[in-house]
Every structure is written in C-alpha cells, then in structure tokens.
Amino acid sequence: MKKVFQLVILWTVLFFIACSGSKKGSGVDEKDDAPKVKLAKVQTQPVEQIQEYTATVEPEVRNAITPSSPVRIDHILVEVGDYVAKGQALVQMDAASLKQAKLQLQNQEIEFKRLDELYKIGGVSKSEWDASKMTLDVKRTGYNNLLENTTLLSPVSGVVTERNYDNGDMYSNSTPILVVEQITPVKLLINVSEMYFTKIQKGIPVSLKLDAFGDEVFEGKVSLIYPTINSKTRTFPVEIKLANRNRKVRPGMFARVTVNFGAQNHVVVPDLAVIKQIGSGDRYVYVYKDGKVYYQKVLLGRRMNAEYELISGVENNSQVVVAGFTHLTDGMEVDVQK
C-alpha cells in the first residue's frame, strides 16, 4: 500500500512537471515558428538609362549599276572589292548604237545650220525652222541618253559589292551588272521603345561593338528619328550613322548599339531581394512593414553589378527581404535578424 501511494505521488509530480514544461516549450515553439529574415533598406537614386540594341550595318547608299535597256556588255572595268570614286567608269557597253546616233546627230546639226542660215534671209518659213530645231533636240537627247548608258559611271564613291555578269554577256533587266555601296559613312537602324520617344535627340552619341572586332568600341551618332510609333510593337525606328572614315566597318556586320538616354531617379534593390515567380517569369520582392512581409510584383530595369533598378513596385525607403525566403507567404509575420 505504501508503495502504491509513493507511485501515485511520483506520477502526480511528473504530470505537473510535464505540463509546466509543455507550457514553457509552447512559448519557445511559437517564437521559433516565425521565419527568420534579413532586411535591406532601399532608396531612390539616379540611374543612367542605358539600353542595348542589335542591328545590322547598312551602306549609306546602295546603287545598282544598269543601262536603261538590254544591250551587250563590252567590258567590265572593276571587280568585287574594288574601291571606286564618284564618276569613275565601271562598265563599257556595246557602242554600235551610240556610233549610229552620233552620225545622225552630226547630220542633223549640219541640216539645221543650213536651214538656220536660210531662215535669217527669209529663205524658209518659221515652221520649217521650228521642225528642224525640234528634230535636232530629239537627236541630241537620244545621243546623250545612249552616251550615258554606254559608259556606265559610278554615282558615288564606294566599294563594289556585287558583279553579276561577264564580258560579252547580254544584259537583261532582271539583275544589275554591278552593285556599288557607299560605306563612308555606314548606318544602322534600331527599334526603340516608345517610352524613350521624348528622351532621344538627333546628334546624341552612341557606342557600338561589332562581333567582327571583339571588344573594340566605335562611336556613332543618332542621325534620324522616325516620327511615328508602330502600334503593334510600340517601338519607333532610329537611324545611327558611323563615319567609318577608314572603311573598316562593312555592310552586313552584326552590331550591338548602346544608347544612354540620361539619368532617372528609381529605387535600387540588392539582386538578392529579387525572386522569379515559377511558371510566369514575373519578378517580385517581399516588402517588410509592421512586423510582416508582403508580396510585391516589380518591373526590373538595369542590372548594375549586385543591384537591380526597379522601374516600379517598391517605394523609396522601403525595407525588403534579402535572406530567409523559405516558407514566406504574403502577410506573414517574421522574425527580423540583424
């Protein structure tokens, strides 16, 4: 009986100890249940609005060298890759028609001179003089046209980029004999977002890198801003000119164009604070306020080393979570760690 009484007392003591321990343990667990996070304060600061675009180098001018009508090619005077000057002879076409036209012009000049002398002394009528003068003008125009289309000259200084015929071929209207491209300067066309429409100006400098030249930087300028915005893409074309005085850059090269649209004040956050939403590609951060964290979708701008520019989503002087994201949900209480 004494042993039974002792056992009852022992179980009673153990029960009260267990209850007391459970209450104390319950308090510790509740505190431990709050996720531990680290915060960073974010502020607005000036951020250079630098955007990069891709483009293909184009010639300033591209000229197709062709005569006005089908005729046999007598001699092509240049090759692909040759640099030619404005006014330089490029192709000599068959001159038979030109020679015939020249003889006809000379005969008409003689005939008109004879009629002109007679007209001065009243030997022919005004209508006869007018008819002879008109015939002379027609013959001269025809000759000049044939002259222009027999010796084909370069309209610009540039480089020969195409040759589609050989000596003795009959030219047809489908393909030019040669193509000459002016490459001093060259130009590039980029499509810029409409948000920068009021920020870009003609003449502002831009920098370019071309895959063919690695990290070498070339300097260009905005030369033309198109006045309308594409309603489908919400972009507008901007033309860039590169002087290319050494003719190093060639049409067709792939370029990366960097444009600085000036500084704007935006909130900047550590890259550790930015989380990508699975399945959508959206970015968000957790903003801390009054002991809780709140899910906030953000629009990213530039990445600057270990920081991101935020176009929208977080206010100045906010506190954001930079560590301890596991099991966080919108509106959850957290334990802020120093």
- Bridge partners (DSSP) of residue 310 are 267, 300
Cα atoms in the Cβ-side hemisphere of radius 13 Å centred on 335: 10
Count of Cβ atoms closer than 10 Å to residue 101 Cβ: 20
Are the beta carbons of 45 and 268 closer than 8 angstroms? yes
Instruction: Read off the pLDDT band of 32 (50, 70, 90).
Output: low
pLDDT digits (tens, 9 = 90+) for 110-147: 888 988 888 888 888 888 888 888 988 888 887 887 77
Nearest CA-CA partner of 150 in 69, 63, 86, 62: 69
More confident residue, 158 or 97: 158
What is the mean pLDDT of the segment spanning 248-276? Answer: 92
Average pLDDT value over all residues in the chain: 87
Give the pLDDT of residue 28: 45
- What is the chain's Cα-based Rg? 41
Question: Directed axis angle between helix 126-148 and helix 96-120, to 10°?
Answer: 160
281 compared with 229, residue with greater pLDDT: 229
Q: Is the CB of residue 240 less than 8 Å from the CB of residue 187?
A: yes
Partners of 94 in the beta sheet? none
Is the pLDDT at 25 greater than 50, yes or no?
Answer: no
- Per-residue model confidence (pLDDT) at position 241: 97
Tell me the range of 5-9, 11-15, 54-58, 93-97 where mean pLDDT is highest: 54-58
Angle at 261 between CA 256 and CA 264, to 5 degrees: 130
The pLDDT value recorded for residue 306 is 92
Measured distance CA(187)–CA(184) in Å, rounded: 9
Q: Give this prediction's pTM.
A: 0.67
Report which DSSP code applies to 149.
Answer: T
* Distance of alpha carbon 300 from alpha carbon 266, whole angstroms: 10
Backbone angles phi, psi at 200, to 5 degrees: -95, 145
